[in-house]
Chains A and B, each alone.
Chain A
Amino acid sequence: MNRIDKKLEEEGKLLSIYFTAGYPNLNDTKDIIIRLQESGVDMIEIGLPFSDPLADGPTIQDSSTIAIKNGMNTNILFDQLKGIRDEVSIPLIIMGYFNPMLQYGVKDFCKKCNEIGIDGLIIPDLPIDYYEENYKAMFEENKLYNMFLIAPQTSDKRIRKIDSISNGFIYMVSSSSITGSKDSFSSEQINYFERIQKMNLDTPRIIGFGVGNKETYDAAVGYSKGAIIGSAFIKNLHESGVSSIDSFIKSIR
């Protein structure tokens, strides 16, 4: 059974953390993952940095720029993750834009993920139809889940379709926005959370974008199985370093 499914079946709400691999320092990856697991995080999204991250706000873009400058690339990330399963048991997901995966070779990328023990991928700019036609089989062969996004403007019809082809969870983008832009949720967003909750989808939802503190985390998990924090975590890394990871996580829940 995929670790993501196992985690989703557990009682209670999930906290997932996104960080950019290679930030703040090239070799922080493993340390950050282990600290996150120790502080009780349920799931980790390891960001493969890209020069032109269209869905991300300034915090994640800046961390990506620095990570690339630090020398991070796909090969180095895979090297750093070798043997990670000896120490880490929670689900690990790689989140990144499609072009670096395309250049590595999607098939090899999937194989490598399987070898390491990666459970799934989130690729914001890989369209669903294109994935199904070209890559679905490769993902399945390597026991990798591909998690899709939905957003407030996504039509009900399309949400139903995404629900029917999803495995793991649906990544529910909290607002029509790029990552990291809001401090609290508006009534419009809460209406959207309620609307989706009433659809009774088969796939669990995890809310991301604009979740960054206890208030937004609590609000988000009121309407979903869990929430993802990215920009706020990176901001905290920037300001207080890796040693502050535990206290940051404890401030959320």
Chain B
Amino acid sequence: MKYTVDKKGFYGNYGGAFVPEMLFPNLDELEKNYNKIINDSNFQKDYNNLLKDYVGRPTPLYFAERMSEKYKCKIYFKREDLCHTGAHKINNTVGQILLAKRLGKKRIIAETGAGQHGVATATVCALAGIECVIYMGAVDIKRQAPNVARMKMLGASIVSAESGSKTLKDATNEAIRDWINNPVTTHYIIGSVVGPHPYPDMVAKFQAVVSEEIKSQLHEKEGTEYPNYLIANIGGGSNAAGLYYHYLEDEKVKIISVEAAGEGIESGKSAATSALGKTGIIHGSKTLLMQTKDGQIVEPYSISAGLDYPGVGPLHAHLLESKRAEFMSITDSDAMLAGLEVSKLEGIIPAIETAHAFAAFKYLDFKDDDIIVVNFSGRGDKDLNTYIDYFNL
């Protein structure tokens, strides 16, 4: 298997667990138990029941007829926007909360940028009756007031990250520090396929349900399990990991990962890690990240708060290096226009993260009978204010 994690926690040259010794026992406990727990039939039963009755899975695989007409190919949307809380994020938090309970943990911490993962974590903590602390950058708390309110309604405490640039990367640092301070009682629910091993693999496994469902759904509609292309937007890369997971070893299925170029790759305001990143260490993982030549981590920018992470999960760095995935970067303005286009053509308002994936179509050439599955990773309600300001709606 070329694209799964190896015994040492690496995807090719990327991954590992570059963390202070204080975190070694936490990760060791997780590493020794996560596969055993996930593969346990009782766990699978609980997880699948919750996915079905609570999250609302399986999510539809929808044939987007008018988009298909416009771009002259067959476009399907995997409707993760229809999940409870409005995005794919909850697939992971449902899995991790069940895992935390089996590990006997009494307290949950998580980081959040735009607040989507924070809401998904607060939601499952309410469901499980477990204490929940969410770390969020001071800057993001101001920008994302509705999600802060949602988390509070769900019973979570919000801790403002005041260090560094006061955004997602700093919230992640603060959550990791909390975990250092509370190693025994607490489980850290990371929201993407980032961080030290085993997180990238564990989160990918909890998102893998996305591609598992696509296989049978596509077979029903097209008589084949295999699309020609998979397209996902990518920040840390969790929705992309879910979309690709069961297709990674089938190289006839081509993969396109769409990053946020922000105001343009060369503008100094970008989050295009594949173009601007170099191999380094961020949040315990060896991967591609945006940094100065001295190795200081750079603050990224995108109009979409879910994509402005300075790194990318180690799986994705490996997919890029091995040329298994093609990477594209899409500017703010292209993404915003694509968000409007999808809304008007298909009657579905996408999250701005998701809109980046749709913006790729005008730069790609497909054959008439090519089947393309796009991960419709989240709905646009949370971004309404940004859309309103941008288009003067």
Contacts and interface: CB of A to CB of B under 8 A. Distances in A.
Interface of A: 50-52, 54-55, 57-58, 61-62, 65, 68, 73-75, 97-104, 124-127, 129-130, 148-151, 153-155, 158, 173, 176-178, 181
Contacts of B265: none
Q: Which of A58, A75, A127, A129 counts the most B-chain CB atoms under 10 A from its CB?
A: A127
B18 A98 contact: yes
27 contacts: A51-B297, A52-B164, A54-B20, A54-B180, A54-B284, A57-B177, A68-B296, A75-B294, A99-B280, A99-B282, A99-B297, A100-B295, A102-B279, A102-B280, A102-B295, A103-B293, A127-B17, A127-B19, A127-B24, A129-B8, A149-B21, A150-B21, A153-B26, A153-B183, A154-B25, A173-B22, A177-B180
Top 3 nearest A-B pairs (CB, nearest first) are A103-B295, A100-B295, A149-B21
A98 to B, nearest CB: 5
Contacts of B173: 52, 54
A185 B173 CA distance: 25
B349 interface: no
A125 B25 contact: no
B177 A54 contact: yes
Contact of B22 (A52, A127, A153): A153
B380 interface: no
Nearest to A129: B8
B22 A149 contact: yes
B182 interface: yes
A127 B18 contact: yes
Given A51-B297, A154-B25, A176 B183 contact: yes
Contacts of B17: 127
A154 B21 contact: yes
A109 B31 CA distance: 32
Nearest to B286: A102
B133 interface: no
A200 B336 CA distance: 64
Contacts, number: 113
Contact of B181 (A61, A130, A177): A177
Contacts of B371: none
B25 to A, nearest CB: 4
B169 interface: yes
Interface string B153-188: 000000000011000011001001100111110000
A113 B17 CA distance: 26
Given A54-B176, A151-B22, A154-B25, A178 B181 contact: yes
B19 A104 contact: no
B229 to A, nearest CB: 35
B16 interface: yes
Contacts of B181: 176-178, 181
Contact of A173 (B21, B25, B293): B21
Nearest to B25: A153
A159 B192 CA distance: 32
Contact of A155 (B18, B25, B278, B296): B25
Contact of B16 (A50, A65, A127, A177): A127
B180 A125 contact: no
Q: Which residue, of B18, B25, B279, has the highest number of chain A Cβ atoms within 10 A?
A: B18
B278 A103 contact: yes
B183 A51 contact: no
B197 to A, nearest CB: 10
A82 B177 CA distance: 35
A10 to B, nearest CB: 27
B291 interface: yes
B281 interface: yes
Contacts of B293: 103
A104 B296 contact: no
B22 A102 contact: no
A173 B281 CA distance: 23
Contacts of A150: 21
Nearest to A74: B294
A52 B283 CA distance: 8
B9 to A, nearest CB: 10
A65 B19 contact: no
Nearest to A178: B177
A55 B20 contact: yes
B295 A104 contact: yes
Contacts of B280: 99, 102-103
B60 to A, nearest CB: 40
A154 B18 contact: no
A51 B164 contact: yes
B16 to A, nearest CB: 6
Contacts of A130: 16, 18
Contacts of B24: 127, 151, 153-154, 158
A63 B180 CA distance: 21
Nearest to A155: B25
Contacts of A55: 20, 22, 177, 180
Max count, chain B CB within 10 A of own CB: residue among A65, A75, A125, A129: A125
A58 B163 contact: yes
B21 A148 contact: yes
A176 B164 contact: no
Interface string B287-331: 000010111110000000000000000000000000000000000
Residue picked from B26, B163, B295, most chain A C-beta under 10 Å: B295
Contacts of B19: 54, 125, 127
A10 B18 CA distance: 34
